[in-house]
Structure 1
Amino acid sequence: MSVKSIIPQSRIISSLQRMKHIGIVDITTVGACLCANEIVAQAAKIDSSGKHPDFTMHAFSYDQYKDCIIRKDWISLANKVCESIRLLEKVGADFVIIPSNTPHFAIDLIEKNSPLKVVNLIKIVADECQRQGFSKVLVLGTKLTMQGGLYNEVLNSKNITPMIPTDDVCDKIEHLIRNEIIPSQINSSTVENIQQDIQKYDCDAVILGCTELPVVYNENNLGKPVVDTTRLLGQYAFKFACDDNLSPK
């Protein structure tokens, strides 16, 4: 999706002089850095001078979030995310993004208690699926994201059917994310094995519903259209930083 297709280029160029400061809540650093890089890349498409929105990233130790996710303790997770947001507010952030899918199980609590506007990744992804005319999508992500139905309600509301892999494939993807991508110990045979599994599914597109998955998967190696949640969030954050008329999802 092109930024230019949403906002007139002339408006973006003028807005580069008064961009909002983006706060990034870093749950897992791999996904957060990919998203930050996409913000810079989007700016470079408009202005080759190197100008891009200011952004500040804050990270608590990942284990503090991981423990909440394992327990499905969304209240504690939301409190920890909002603690991070308050620190970002102190350094001048105007709004925040959370480049991590699974914590969006707590998005209602986060939005309710956040001192800053929070961009809702799940809604952005569903809107993109609708924009591209997909009617049946395969959702990949952590086992909880897939089997917990994180995307079900918002996709169903747009008459898009969410699919998830079988239990054994979900286990493989969970292992890949937790034990290989996050600690940077990727085994190519694991990646290829899952790739072969995914190619068997009859779907219009694949949602990479974990911000680490774009490290190993894309349209070329999956052989299907891909909705890259990491880069999509970065693109939207850039647009929102540049356009006063665009509201956060």
Structure 2
Amino acid sequence: MKRVGIIGGLGPESTVEYYQTFIKKFQNKMNSNKVLPELFINSINMYNIFRFIDENKMTDLIDYVGQAAQKLEEIGADVVVISANTPHIVFADVQNKVNVPMISIVEATYEKAVEQGMKKVGLLGTKFTMEHDFFKKPFLANEKEVIVPNEQDQMFIHEKIVEELENGIVKQETKEAFLRVINTMMEEENIDGLILGCTELPMILNDQDVTLPLLNTTEIHIDTMIEHVF
């Protein structure tokens, strides 16, 4: 049985979700609630991530996340994951800093979109995830479209993620505003799916809120982790 290492704290709310959901899915796979997986969590500072990207200090970002991955490898992790979407902007560089495999949330989400036959998907996340192309690359390389909100809506969504969701705050008014953005994307762009490209977004949005399929990157990532553990 492989031991997974989680780079967490990106933010704390989703790290807790990763831990609890991974255990539940592991126990379901084992068909027993009397077994627990062995795993490691290295919780780092999400605000350093935001600062490095905002200041375009990609070398510092690679070193910071890379050192977190190396520590997990040193203490015995057989596979490593980053429990957030935004730091995957340097995923390939971080993978090069460790000898154990890493599981990409981007690739796992792309594969799920293919499985569901999606061709034109919307993407919500931090401004870094929406404005950079790291999440879009596998889709665009395979003739699929990725649509993001306009710049004003991107800034609004980013602010609410950082100021509210990352701190465990869920407001109905924020949810309604997010749904207005999504409805605009559906009406104007005719998207056939929506990527919740921030691991905190499932706190405020779920399948009952919209009429199109949601790609919950947190759940998709954890499902892929389970596949790699056995």
TM-score, scaled to structure 2: 0.91
Is 1:126 matched with 2:114? no
Q: How does 1:33-182 map to 2 (within 5 A)?
A: 33-46=16-29, 47-182=31-166
- Residue aligning to 1:30: 13
Q: 2:182 aligns with which of 194, 198, 222?
A: 198
- Indicate the SS of the match to 1:182: helix
Q: How many residues align?
A: 224
Give structure 1 stretches of 5+ with no counterpart. 1-18, 243-249
- Indicate the SS of the match to 1:159: coil
Counterpart residue identity of residue 6, structure 2: I
- Residue aligning to 1:16: none
- Indicate the SS of the match to 2:61: helix
Is 1:230 matched with 2:196? no
Distance 1:156 1:52 in 2: 39
- Indicate the SS of the match to 2:209: helix
Counterpart residue identity of residue 154, structure 1: P
Give structure 2 stretches of 5+ with no counterpart. none
List structure 1 runs of 4+ shifted beyond 4 angstroms: none
Distance 1:116 1:29 in 2: 24
User: How well do the aligned residues superpose, as a CA RMSD in angstroms?
Assistant: 1.5
Is 1:210 matched with 2:192? no
Counterpart residue identity of residue 33, structure 1: V
Distance 1:77 1:212 in 2: 21
Distance 1:91 1:227 in 2: 32
Distance 1:223 1:50 in 2: 38
> 8 Å contact 1:139–1:164 — kept in the other structure?
yes
> 8 Å contact 1:121–1:229 — kept in the other structure?
yes
TM-score, scaled to structure 1: 0.85
- Indicate the SS of the match to 2:212: coil
- Indicate the SS of the match to 2:96: helix
- Residue aligning to 1:9: none
> 8 Å contact 1:36–1:234 — kept in the other structure?
no
Distance 1:163 1:169 in 2: 13
Is 1:21 matched with 2:3? yes
Distance 1:50 1:232 in 2: 24
Q: Give me the identity figure in percent.
A: 22
